[in-house]
Amino acid sequence: MQPRNCIYIIAAILLLNGCSATRNLPETKHQPFTLRVAGGTNKGGIVENTEMTAVDQAPPDAFTGATSRSLHAGVHALVPLKRNAVEAGLVIMHSGHRFGYYDPAASYDGSLDLSLVQCMVPLTYNVKLFRGVRPGGLMEVKLGYVAQYNLLSESGQEGTVPAYDFNRWSHGPTLGITLKPFRLNNGNQIGLYVEGYRGSAIFKDPYNEDDFEMTGSAYVKTGLFFEF
């Protein structure tokens, strides 16, 4: 089963659970929206094609890819929706990629270093859990969608590599978990999170076409946030 399909299935289960838990509850009154400032590390960005059988007459090692761990930061607003919440944000994420080419028949033998900066707008529905431990819940399971605006720049090149292009926009489903173990005397909270995403393609070259099954975008990011 594709990772994207798994996210959709989990999303449906959580939405049904969240709706059933709040069906007969009165809407929360006078609960203000909250802001979160978050930052941390991430691994991902461009998902490259590793199945050279999708490329005519390409040797098994015609194309290889590697991704370096990098950083992200963002701000999020949470609006109460009965006992749960809707979250929207703006996140800036960087990732570094190195692609290698070795296809003598096509006269490619070299490497390409790319820097990807993404401006991301996530929109999620957050199911709050363990409300008895702490007001507002000790943990949140979030699911939703992410739109990405991509800025790709070349940071290095060696040898002979093919021409490439990229999609300015990418998008896809996201799933994450938030923990809020630390509550300050003034009511502010410090927590941590882990989130995953799998979406549409960014990078395009002869070995990475939009319609290839593996080509896409993805990330796993984790970090800390301050909620006030």
172 within domain boundaries: yes
Note whether residue 145 is domain-resident: yes
* 26 domain-assigned: no
Please tell me the total number of residues recorded for the chain in this structure.
Answer: 228
Answer yes or no: is 60 within a domain.
Answer: yes
Q: How confident is the model at residue 136 (pLDDT cuts 50, 70, 90)?
A: confident
Q: Does position 33 have pLDDT exceeding 70, yes or no?
A: yes
Q: What is the CATH number of the domain that holds 36?
A: 2.40.160.20
What the block records as the tokens of 84 is 């749960």
Q: What is the domain range of residue 94?
A: 3-18+32-227
Whether 44 is covered by a domain: the verdict is: yes
d(CA 32, CA 22) in angstroms, rounded, equals 19
Q: Are 95 and 72 in contact (CB under 8 A)?
A: no
Instruction: State yes or no: pLDDT of 92 exceeds 80.
Output: yes
Determine, yes or no, domain membership for 25: no
Residue 31 has a pLDDT of 58
Over 70: is that where the pLDDT of 198 sits? yes
Of 124 and 83, the one with more pLDDT: 124
Residue 23 inside a domain? The answer is: no
% of residues, the chain, pLDDT over 90 = 75
pLDDT-based confidence at residue 3 (cuts at 50, 70, 90): very low
Residue 27 domain flag: no
CA distance 93 to 87: 18
Give CA–CA dist 121/199, Å, rounded. 13
Per the structure, the count of domains in the chain is: 1
d(CA 91, CA 42): 12
Residue 212: how many other CB atoms lie within 10 Å: 18
